[in-house]
Amino acid sequence: MNYIGNFLKRKDAQLYLTLIFLIIVIYTLRNFIGVILLTTIFSYLAIKASLFFKKQFKVPYLLAVILMYVFGLGLFISAITYAAPLLVEQLKVIPNMISKAIVDHPYLNKNIDKLINQAIHSSEIVSSSKNVLITGLREAGHVGTGFTHVVLAIFLSFVYSTSHNRLLKFGHEFLKSPYREFFKNIYYLARKFVLILGKIIETQLLICSINTLLMAIGLSLLKMPSLLLLTIIIFIFGLVPVAGVLISIIPLGLIAFASGGLIRVAEVIVLVVVIHLFESYFLHPRLMAGRTDLPVFVAFITLIIMSELLGGWGLIVGLPIVSFFLDILGVHSSEKKKKMPKTVKKK
């Protein structure tokens, strides 16, 4: 019994028990993990940008936060407003191209009615169509839920950013309570994870910018129309780590088909695959490893495993989670140890 009591009094034991408690709480709130992570990410970026804006232009912090959100939302709405009409115009020609392909192709032109009737009366095709429809409706529901989470996270991050200093003072009151050691551990663990996650998000923005630039250069060489529109689409989808480049194939493929047919679609797909391979096997692991003090191989394996365990979120929080646990366990790279200042021995 004394052994257990002495063990629980140890600082490291209390820290690990607090970590286990937080893991249980997070697992209980797993249905809201998307909102929590988005709120954390938006708040981190907003506070950092606002502090930079405050320092550069000597304005009050609250005004800096409001200006940052107005600028960010205005830029996003302007991009969508500009992109949507151009995207509709590009996709309008697709039905005419399909009709022209049917007319120009002798076999399709002669047997189109017969092929349509066979498709309608084919039980296998009907069954497959029902499955596709159900899957599409389910995914549409997920998109709607995701949009709701994003809007809620933006609102919560705005409230948090505007009241950041007051919330910090309120949080410090917990450090004066009888359970201050418990709350100190929570503060230590949460702060460490948020700082690591913030580094990852900053790196992802850099990767997204590089990918967008490379894709824009490639699309200009392919002489794709509406290059600015395509650049906006690529940047928005590029905010999704690794998978964003592949997701962008859908709108890019439609515009490519509308402007140049199947040959241009094939050219765009090859370009997207090359950029995706460059990001996945070189850019993403190397830059992420540089920010998280992980070897490139470990970073790459982490992305694969976490994407399988956590899905899309694994690509975002996988490296921060591994780096967080390694830091808690006191495991650091040799390069990081060399940078640490040596303690002066007392005489």
Q: Among residues 59, 53, 54, 42, which one has the least CA distance to residue 159? A: 42
pLDDT band at 202 (very low <50, low <70, confident <90, very high): confident
Residue 298 to residues 266, 285, 303, Cα–Cα distance (Å)? 34, 9, 9
- Tokens 């709701």 sit on residue: 148
Q: Sorting pLDDT into bands at 50, 70 and 90, what band is 274?
A: confident
Mean pLDDT estimate for the chain: 75
Higher pLDDT pick, 140 / 279: 279
Quick one: tokens of 248?
Answer: 């962008």
Q: What average pLDDT does this structure show over 61-67? A: 90
pLDDT value, residue 272: 84
Its sign, for the CA torsion 263, 268, 274, 280, is negative
- Give one DSSP letter per residue of 206-253, joined into a string: HHHHHHHHHHHHHHHHTT-S-HHHHHHHHHHHHTSTTHHHHHTHHHHH
Label residue 335 exposed, middle or buried (CB < 10 Å: 0-12, 13-18, 19+): exposed
Task: Give 212-235 pLDDT, tens digit per residue.
Answer: 898 889 888 888 877 777 887 788
What residues have CB less than 8 Å from 299, skipping those under 6 apart?
Answer: 285, 288, 289, 292, 319
Please provide the DSSP assignment of 6-54 as one string. Answer: HHHHSHHHHHHHHHHHHHHHHHHTGGGHHHHHHHHHHHHHHHHHHHHHH
Contacting residues for 173 by C-beta, under 8 A, at least 6 apart = none
Lowest mean pLDDT among 29-38, 40-49, 106-115, 268-277: 106-115
DSSP 345: P
Rounded CA-CA distance 316/309 in Å is 12
Q: What's the rounded Cα separation, in Å, for the pair 332 and 293?
A: 7
pLDDT of residue 5: 67
CA distance linking residue 208 with residue 244, whole number of Å: 9
Q: Does 243 or 69 have the greater pLDDT score?
A: 69
Taking the C-alpha atoms of residue 274 and residue 267, their distance in angstroms, rounded to an integer, is 11
Lowest mean pLDDT of 137-141, 150-154, 319-323, 331-335, name the range. Answer: 137-141
Contact 54, 60 (CB under 8 A): yes
pLDDT at 73: 86
Distance CA 297, CA 303 (A): 10
What dihedral angle (degrees, nearest 10) is formed by the CA atoms of 232, 238, 240, 246? 110
Is-contact 318 306, C-beta < 8 A?
yes
**Residue that wins the pLDDT comparison between 259 and 95:** 259
128, pLDDT greater than 60:
no
